[in-house]
Structure 1
């Protein structure tokens, strides 16, 4: 065999799998499709990990118990989640940080003004790029064999048992394999196929921007589903999709392209009409629904509108938006119908009811007599200058994936493979049927990456597969 455990992928889940497998003493080879300077997949664009904790812990304030985490996840997915696997991820999130630190990951203290986020999420010092670099350094020191620019286009599988992988015409054999090669969000044709044509004759996917890596083409995912008939699940149109700045680059714009002032004003579509409650819940719990909402609007574009009262209350956008002293002038800059736009804002302003504004809580500033309503943080847009930011759907990762269980095994006709495992985006749909809440992607990738790595090594060593979260102790 060329190696004992072959890990296909180069992001957080793949690296967790490689590190855990290597800690058992087996040989490990990792194949990353990207060149070294673009390694890490979407993980390089992340910045935090959602963590359960029953009391304050180092960088985490207050408490975020299992049931609250579960209810947050249940709410954003609309119940479209496997509760057993979801709770397994939640529990694993409470114990993984010591192991992460041993592999060089550093966490930063809570930032001023972000304490409500620091209650639920642990932020990486240096962001996702630092996380990825730390894991690669640790993997190299432990002797993981790493190959860059090594995409895998097909696998040899017999009766559900992995035999070999093919990369750039070379056959690579291993006793066990972990699939962690990401979703298909960078494959424009597959996105087009999934979303199809809408009733307006548009192809929505043509206007999508990819927030992350250009290397997640979904080649291996499609190969597993179509050629090997692996058990799969998920809606191909469901994804972690965020409303991002329309000026963002096609790929790798990352976290900084997000527009974070949505809850502080109103959002209108190309026809200058509001279409959803901007103040439904805290932004970290709702930001990921807005990409899909924008994708459903004419031309797949929308505009976030605020006035000067909102300035300083959110992370300023990277790209300069429109700025005007009057609503009429702002509409002109955004190429919106002036009459329709000013009427929309007038009706919204008239519907705002007095309350005590506090953006750190679910306050009592709301609207009455208008559809859609705004549940919280509803203040009239009446203090110039006014600002407008164009929004496009930004796809982070797709949810169509391989069905698995608490051993992270790939399944064929309901039967778990004895030596083929899956982690990260390729199986996130087991937990995320739809929706998203900040940091949970890293929680899923970390939990299942570690389980997959341990069980791939166990299959090599002849040990039974472990179910559920692994110990945070070095094996």
Structure 2
């Protein structure tokens, strides 16, 4: 019988598998996706948010624990477990050497307007390179890996894991029989339910306009996260945490593909202009804070607008100050022409832009800091980087909500154990997006999802190996002990 069964194939699952194997446990990892799509949402990531008290290798200046905590507290509005959040924050300071030992490389510090050279460590080659490095290391260490192996049921004896079930299936024209896989312990790291349209519809329901908002969502993340195991565990009585409508939801290009658009579908010029809905009206402060701290609120904001669409509007002055999107914007030499091309009500749109332009105050525009350029006399206000949109050509980018991962998950503690009726399971653990809601009740800040997955993946792997009778060989291997 295998010691540790890991269900999932992204960052958290791989961290768990590697830690369990390093502790001496036999490990089987089941990835539901084909090999070409392995890695879940982790393949679309770029960086890891890291606490550090002083400059460290690829990180400049300092990003101390309290600042990280305050950033998280602000974006979540206090909807976070402080003990688990601080555990993640501390773990983010000492994981990079371990990551490097498994083949992960980091870029030199970045500089510029995104303000992430201080807070985030970027993976050389992005998330796909990180995932590939972990898989190579897992194979080298003897972790058994199976692809096209979607687990659709979990067998429990009370609160104890017994076996995982895979239904009969066809892969590349070949039939595979149903399977029952036993293991001494199990780590669940199979992601949320963002690609389950019916569950999204159930969560979001019908709005006051008679629309089903979820029908207009794009899935920025992987198509394979359908929440089957999350639903099974909930039905089996596992304790849950989080709001099913809360998610890492980004306003992405409305022309993006339905699934797996990833980072490149983001529209990063929001803070440099204004955003209007399909009625030509602004609806939120575009300059509230630096973009890495606020980009992930815009998907939910757009989801609350009519038809779940928005439009990011800039002028020539903004060009060159943000990462160019994959799809070109709609251009025009007048605001009237731009509104017409975007299908917006011309009179309402022009009135909105004229009111905004007249309200702009300040002449010390600086997108690299919270500057003094703001609006007065319009609602909503724009707090920073407010400049009149008055220099043609004008640009418009259509927006839709892009769901990366959902926050409804399994409640856990600092051992990563799944909980039933207030009691932690002795051999069933959870990591990654299936428990991220313990730390992220709402909101997001760049790179924190990877921080959560790395911390709890390592804890879950260590704890699962210990429950199967294997202890880490060194203190550095025991992540849960090192950061407790």
TM-score by length of 1: 0.97
Query: Are 1:256 and 2:255 an aligned pair?
Result: no
Query: Are 1:431 and 2:439 an aligned pair?
Result: yes
* Structure 2 counterpart SS, 1:146: strand
Partners of 1:371 and 1:138 lie apart in 2 by 53
Query: Are 1:37 and 2:36 an aligned pair?
Result: yes
Aligned counterpart, 1:243: 251
Aligned counterpart, 2:66: 67
* Structure 2 counterpart SS, 1:383: coil
1:335 aligned to which of 331, 343, 349: 343
Q: Does structure 1 conserve the Cα–Cα contact (< 8 Å) formed by 2:458 and 2:479?
A: no
Point out 4+ residue stretches in structure 1 off by more than 3 angstroms: 466-472
Post-superposition CA distance 1:304-332 (Å, at most 9, x none)? 00000000000011011100011010001
5+ unaligned residues in a row in structure 2: which ranges? 168-177
Shift of 1:469: 3.6
TM-score by length of 2: 0.95
CA RMSD of aligned residues (A): 1.3
1:180 aligned to which of 175, 182, 189: 189
Trace 1:374-413 onto structure 2 (pairs within 5 A): 374-413=382-421
* Structure 2 counterpart SS, 1:171: strand
Post-superposition CA distance 1:259-297 (Å, at most 9, x none)? 000000000000000000000000000000000000000
Trace 1:125-136 onto structure 2 (pairs within 5 A): 125-136=124-135
Partners of 2:105 and 2:440 lie apart in 1 by 27
* Structure 2 counterpart SS, 1:436: coil
Q: Does structure 2 conserve the Cα–Cα contact (< 8 Å) formed by 1:243 and 1:394?
A: yes
* Structure 1 counterpart SS, 2:395: strand
2:228 aligned to which of 219, 222, 226: 219
* Structure 1 counterpart SS, 2:115: helix
Aligned counterpart, 1:196: 205
Partners of 1:462 and 1:387 lie apart in 2 by 59
Partners of 1:119 and 1:151 lie apart in 2 by 39
Partners of 1:99 and 1:467 lie apart in 2 by 11
Partners of 1:115 and 1:78 lie apart in 2 by 22
Partners of 1:126 and 1:289 lie apart in 2 by 26
Aligned counterpart, 1:289: 297
Partners of 2:109 and 2:50 lie apart in 1 by 14
Partners of 1:258 and 1:116 lie apart in 2 by 17
Q: Does structure 1 conserve the Cα–Cα contact (< 8 Å) formed by 2:103 and 2:133?
A: yes
* Structure 1 counterpart SS, 2:198: helix
Trace 1:270-285 onto structure 2 (pairs within 5 A): 270-285=278-293
Shift of 1:115: 6.9
* Structure 2 counterpart SS, 1:377: coil
Partners of 1:181 and 1:426 lie apart in 2 by 7
Trace 1:71-470 onto structure 2 (pairs within 5 A): 71-113=70-112, 116-168=115-167, 169-226=178-235, 228-461=236-469, 469-470=480-481
Partners of 1:115 and 1:107 lie apart in 2 by 17
Partners of 2:377 and 2:90 lie apart in 1 by 43
Partners of 2:471 and 2:35 lie apart in 1 by 34
Post-superposition CA distance 1:238-272 (Å, at most 9, x none)? 00000000000000100000000000000000000
* Structure 2 counterpart SS, 1:30: strand
Shift of 1:125: 0.3
Aligned counterpart, 2:172: none
5+ unaligned residues in a row in structure 1: which ranges? none
Q: Does structure 2 conserve the Cα–Cα contact (< 8 Å) formed by 1:241 and 1:290?
A: yes
Q: Does structure 1 conserve the Cα–Cα contact (< 8 Å) formed by 2:23 and 2:470?
A: no
* Structure 2 counterpart SS, 1:291: helix
Partners of 1:155 and 1:229 lie apart in 2 by 12
Shift of 1:355: 2.8
Query: Are 1:46 and 2:39 an aligned pair?
Result: no
Partners of 1:367 and 1:152 lie apart in 2 by 53
Shift of 1:222: 0.1
Partners of 2:86 and 2:37 lie apart in 1 by 33
* Structure 1 counterpart SS, 2:468: helix
User: CA 1:43 to 1:470, structure 2 compared with 1: closer, same or farther past 3 Å?
Assistant: farther
Partners of 2:208 and 2:394 lie apart in 1 by 33
Partners of 1:156 and 1:64 lie apart in 2 by 43
Partners of 1:116 and 1:416 lie apart in 2 by 40
